[in-house]
């Protein structure tokens, strides 16, 4: 196995190939190796690439480097003040050790329907900036993730950063796991709301995150009915489909009633 840690985009593309495995935080990659799966031919560690980590404000948009750790996002005042649901999701993410290694780009590219950061990113209309040798292309996150573990990332590309418009709306994140901490979500959701807007993104109840917008004129009962029609939860080791459906409805109803009383 060969290991590289390039410090420039040019160097990265000079060593990258179709057989390369990319390393950011390694919290998903390393356990695979520990379970005696075949080691990749080449590992490319992305952490030293320019602009791969960090959070900045650019033209009224928040830009998060793909290699930014979950702990950095959790502690960032810019995120807490403008994208509270994302800050909450990062707070509920694993253990402190995991948060200091795991990256937001890894959580996105892992493309798990229960990924903690995904429902807030969907609700906030996040756009992903994908880099290849010659250019960068931008794509909405809901067009990037197409199924469990599946994305539209092309050969020779990597996720460089995430761009999220500044939001004056309030937001919240909810996650239910089988224990109080360090649990994969049974269900999760993010709600972004104001006097004129209501967006809900739900996770772990379909092959990808489901985003519902244009809900502000609907009653709570109609919102719940709409979401219940569109989700397709499954039975697995964490919960039954029936339980997921019911708990999602119960917690959404609880949060929406609080929102309706306070907006």
How confident is the model at residue 140, as a pLDDT?
Answer: 98
- The residue-averaged pLDDT of 181-192 equals 86
Largest CA distance in the chain: 58
pLDDT, position 160: 94
Find where tokens 């997921």 sit: 244
Supply φ then ψ for residue 22, to 5 degrees: -90, 140
Length of the chain: 263
Topology annotation, domain 1-45: 3.30.43
Return d(Cα 170, Cα 77) in angstroms, integer.
15
Give the pair of three-digit tokens for residue 23.
Answer: 């390393």
Give 191-202 pLDDT, tens digit per residue.
999 999 999 999
pLDDT score recorded for residue 1: 77
In angstroms, the CA 223 to CA 208 distance is 19
- Which tops the pLDDT comparison, 254 or 6? 254
**What pLDDT does 245 receive?**
97
Where residue 36 falls (left for φ over 0; alpha for ψ -120 to 50; beta otherwise) is left
Residue 181 has pLDDT above 70, yes or no: no
Distance CA 6, CA 18 (A): 17
| pLDDT for 35 beyond 70 | no
- Between strands 187-193 and 170-176, the pairing is antiparallel
What pLDDT sits at residue 255?
Answer: 97
Residue labelled with tokens 């756009």:
127
pLDDT over 80 (residue 167):
yes
What pLDDT digit, counting tens, does each position of 56-72 carry?
999 999 999 999 999 99
pLDDT category at 237 given cuts 50, 70, 90 is confident
Using the predicted structure, report yes or no on whether residue 180 has a pLDDT greater than 60.
no
Q: How many other C-beta atoms lie within 10 A of the C-beta of residue 35?
A: 7
- What share of the chain has pLDDT > 70, as a percent? 93
pLDDT reported for residue 61? 97
The strands making up 187-193's β-sheet, listed across from edge to edge, are 170-176, 187-193, 198-203, 210-212
Fold annotation for 170-262:
Enolase-like; domain 1 (3.30.390)
Greater model confidence, 137 or 6: 137
Rounded mean pLDDT of 112-122?
Answer: 95
Domain boundaries for CATH 3.30.43.10 within the chain: 1-45
Compute the distance between CA of residue 235 and CA of residue 65 in angstroms, rounded to an integer: 35
In the chain, which residues fall in CATH 3.30.390.50?
A: 170-262
């Amino acid at each position: 196995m060969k290991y590289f840690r390039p410090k420039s985009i040019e160097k990265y593309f000079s060593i990258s190939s179709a057989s390369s495995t990319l390393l950011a935080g390694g919290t998903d990659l390393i356990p695979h190796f520990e379970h005696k799966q075949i080691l990749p031919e080449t590992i490319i560690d992305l952490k030293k690439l320019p602009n791969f980590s960090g959070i900045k404000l650019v033209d009224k948009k928040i830009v998060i480097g793909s290699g930014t750790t979950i702990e950095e996002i959790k502690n960032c005042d810019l995120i807490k003040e403008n994208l509270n649901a994302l800050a909450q999701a990062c707070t509920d993410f694993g253990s402190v050790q995991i948060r200091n290694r795991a990256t937001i780009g890894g959580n996105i590219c892992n493309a798990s329907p229960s990924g903690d950061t995904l429902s807030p990113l969907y609700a906030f209309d996040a756009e992903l900036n994908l880099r290849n040798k010659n250019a960068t292309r931008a794509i909405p996150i809901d067009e990037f993730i197409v199924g469990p573990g599946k994305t539209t990332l092309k050969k020779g590309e990597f996720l460089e950063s995430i761009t999220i418009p500044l939001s004056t709306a309030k937001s919240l994140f909810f996650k239910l796991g089988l224990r109080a901490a360090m649990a994969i979500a049974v269900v999760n959701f993010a709600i972004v709301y104001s006097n004129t807007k209501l967006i809900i993104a739900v996770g772990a109840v379909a092959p990808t995150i489901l985003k519902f917008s244009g809900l502000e004129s609907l009653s709570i009962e109609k919102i719940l009915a709409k979401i219940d029609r569109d989700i397709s939860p499954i039975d697995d080791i964490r919960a039954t489909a029936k339980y997921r459906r019911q708990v999602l409805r119960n917690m959404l109803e609880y949060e929406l009633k609080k929102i309706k009383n306070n907006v």
